[in-house]
Amino acid sequence: MVFLPRARTAIKYLSRADPIYKWNLARGRCPACAGRLFVSLKRSDFLTRCLSCGANTVNLSVISVIEKEFGALTGIAHAYELSTYGATHDYLRKNFRQFTDSEFMPGEVKGAVIKGVRNEDIQDLTFADNSFDLITSNQVMEHVPDDINGFQECLRTLKPEGRLIFTVPLYDTPHTIKMAEVTSAGINFLQEPEYHDSRLAGPGSAVVFWQHSFHDICDRLRAAGFNTVELVEVIIAPSQGLPTKVVYAVKN
């Protein structure tokens, strides 16, 4: 089944789906592979996938915004993705003149290449000022203890008029909720502990530090120094239901 994630997470993924008789097929346009048919295991962007390449519409929504903003400029631009896998990663590697990726490996030297993978902490990037035309991520910023500092590092390493384009789980709460913090004694949970899966560290290994609100996520980017910030709503396939909210910020 091409639309399912890796085997180790398929059961967990399917547990979130509707019964199979409620699954829907819909037509759309996949910005990653130009596929036209999508399956929705539920009216959800996370549970809607392109039947050709398997990418979910959360990742594809980021690509859609990149296409609109960069177009032919991809041939001269330098993109940085905060992971080493996924539809957005593969699109950038294929289409941008220069491409950099990384993962975060606690305890390893920042900026070092470990088994072929560059180690970077978004709170303290090793790149020079004005390095990139574009920085992207999918479902990363909720795992950053100091997300404002992470946004500031993105601002520092972007070139003038550079873009930060990313997705993060967004909640309909009045304000972003701080779930946990790092202290000298370790991680202090301020709310019920929440974990996500990590490709490097395994299932249930990534601590959730923030539940970001779509009501104030743009304000958090402005607090980090971005002036032009907006939420771009993207529908890749109508069966996904509500549009994916993509965070779009420009270094003015």
Per-residue model confidence (pLDDT) at position 200: 75
Average pLDDT, the chain: 94
> What mean pLDDT do residues 37-41 have?
98
Tokens 């631009």 — which residue? 77
> What mean pLDDT do residues 162-188 have?
97
Instruction: Give ∠ CA 199-98-53 in degrees, rounded to 5.
Output: 45
Per-residue model confidence (pLDDT) at position 4: 41
Binning pLDDT at 50, 70 and 90, where does residue 103 land? Answer: very high
* Model pLDDT for residues 68-98, shown as the tens digit of each residue: 999 888 889 999 999 999 999 999 999 999 9
> What mean pLDDT do residues 217-241 have?
98
Amino acid letter, 197: D
* Model pLDDT for residues 122-140, shown as the tens digit of each residue: 999 999 999 999 999 999 9
> How many CA atoms does the CB half-sphere of 87 hold within 13 Å?
27
Binning pLDDT at 50, 70 and 90, where does residue 14 land? Answer: confident
Highest CATH level, class, for 58-250: alpha beta
Q: Which two tokens stand for residue 223?
A: 């607090």
Q: What percent of the chain has pLDDT over 70?
A: 96
Q: Which two tokens stand for residue 1?
A: 């089944």
Which H or E run includes 99?
A: strand 98-101
Distance CA 126, CA 213 (A): 29
Per-residue model confidence (pLDDT) at position 205: 84
Domains of the chain: which residue ranges? Answer: 58-250
With CA atoms as reference, report the closest residue to 209 among 124, 123, 136: 123
Per-residue model confidence (pLDDT) at position 13: 80
What SS3 class is residue 91? helix
